[in-house]
A = this chain, B = another copy of it.
Amino acid sequence: MTVYRELNTPLRTIMTPGPVEADPRVLRAMSTPILGQFDPAFTQIMNETMDMLRQVFQTKNHWAFPIDGTSRSGLEAVLTSVVAPGDKVLIPIFGRFGHLLTEIAERNGAQIHTIETEWGQVFDQDEIIEALERVKPKVLAIVHGETSTGCMQPLDKVGKACREMGIISIVDAVATIAGTEVKVDEWQLDAVIGGTQKCFSVPSGMAPITYNERVEKILSSRKKVERGVRTAEDAVDVLHPIQSNYFDLSQLQDYWGPRRLNHHTEATSMLYALREGARVVLEEGLEARFARHRLHEKAIMEGVKAMGLTLFNDVPWKLPMVTCVNIPEGIDGEAVRSMLLEQFGIEIASSFGPLHGKIWRIGAMGYSCRKENVFAVLAGLEAALIRNGAVVQRGEALQAALNVYETAAAEKVMM
């Protein structure tokens, strides 16, 4: 029999597109003792969390609650609950996570239509609207912030167009929620999925979602309460029942709503974490939080460029919380990343598919998005590059970052 020793983890500076450092307040909240799932003290915590999630999503939607699983569980819960076999789904793809949406929708028997653009680009919204008009799908599923390429798709016109055409819009805002504007109501988005382990700075393991009455109407038409808790009033003959029990939003609603119908056992400690994370976000204020992400983004971008490196995503549609750096010719990207981790305790990311080995991705999200982390990653990257034989402008990166912070302070924008 092998019993391992006590957990002894190194302390890392995590500058990836997630999972990032959790806020210390969130970590502390998780050590709160357990409450039973129907304890009034616990259902109150559920309700308070729903209310705070609505504020983070900038929505008046009634439904805003977490799925108990990692971010992609939120994507699957929404897609599985909305998309029935044969439904037409349009998915514009501009990176890896667009492909993920096709994977999930396809496994629901959807008739998938895609439009694709090169990794590093996003779509002109009119292009998407043209495709909507041509395909006439039931659902548009699209990524907001594509961490694989560091690009962000504007959605304000697309949401409005879907509403006018009677198309349900489903948006993956896993990377952007709590880090930059995700205006669910103003952009007229029908269902939006956020992530915890990125700008929210809550550990991976929950996926906050929100959706409106248009989505709820579809759920009602597919609702089938499970045997064992079903009552005589519950419908049993349903044309296209939702193909997952765990991800069945029509039943999850009854658990998060006043009926409190037993479904899963809510993940107690993760909910404590999410509640505390939402408090931290709202106490900072959404506007201030978004401005903080933009400030540190600028410091990273200027620092990296001052070193003599080029950016893959120095574009107007850049995802503010992810900066993609072109790996210099002749340099082994993985050797640099390993040195950063092993010598400096700093983690940055590589990428997927066509970008694998071509770019590094530096994240600055949530609690990880702060000045000392920015200085650390720039200093470490410069040192690791020099050690790996790269020619860089020595000593310039931190000066450039300092300039950004000093200018911002002078402008009283924020520190």
Contact = CB atoms under 8 A, between A and B. Distances in A.
Given A30-B31, A71-B264, A72-B246, A347 B21 contact: no
A262 B70 CA distance: 13
A206 to B, nearest CB: 8
Contacts of A128: none
Nearest to A106: B241
A90 to B, nearest CB: 16
A204 interface: yes
A313 interface: no
Interface residues of A, number: 88
Interface string A362-403: 000000000000000000000000000000000000000000
Nearest to A20: B34
Contacts of A36: 12, 14, 16, 19, 347
A52 B3 contact: yes
A270 interface: yes
A67 to B, nearest CB: 8
Nearest to A353: B228
Contacts of A32: 7, 9, 27
Contacts of A243: 107-108, 243
B272 A226 contact: no
A197 B266 CA distance: 10
A180 interface: no
A224 to B, nearest CB: 9
Of the listed residues A11, A31, A283, the one surrounded by the most CB atoms of chain B closer than 10 A to its CB is A31
A30 B33 contact: no
A326 interface: no
B347 A107 contact: no
A205 interface: yes
A297 interface: no
A35 B9 contact: yes
Interface stretch (A134-142, A165-173, A274-282): A274-282
A14 B41 CA distance: 13
Interface string A25-65: 00111111111110101000100100110010000000000
A302 interface: no
A197 B21 CA distance: 26
A368 B244 CA distance: 32
Contact of A39 (B12, B35, B68): B12
A29 to B, nearest CB: 5
Interface of A: 1-4, 6-7, 9-12, 14, 16, 18-22, 27-37, 39, 41, 45, 48, 51-52, 55, 68-73, 76, 80, 96-97, 99-100, 102-104, 107-108, 148, 197, 203-205, 226-229, 241-247, 262-270, 272-273, 275-276, 279, 282-283, 341, 347, 352-353
What 5 A-B pairs come out closest when comparing CB atoms?
A: A205-B267, A96-B228, A99-B228, A99-B227, A203-B269
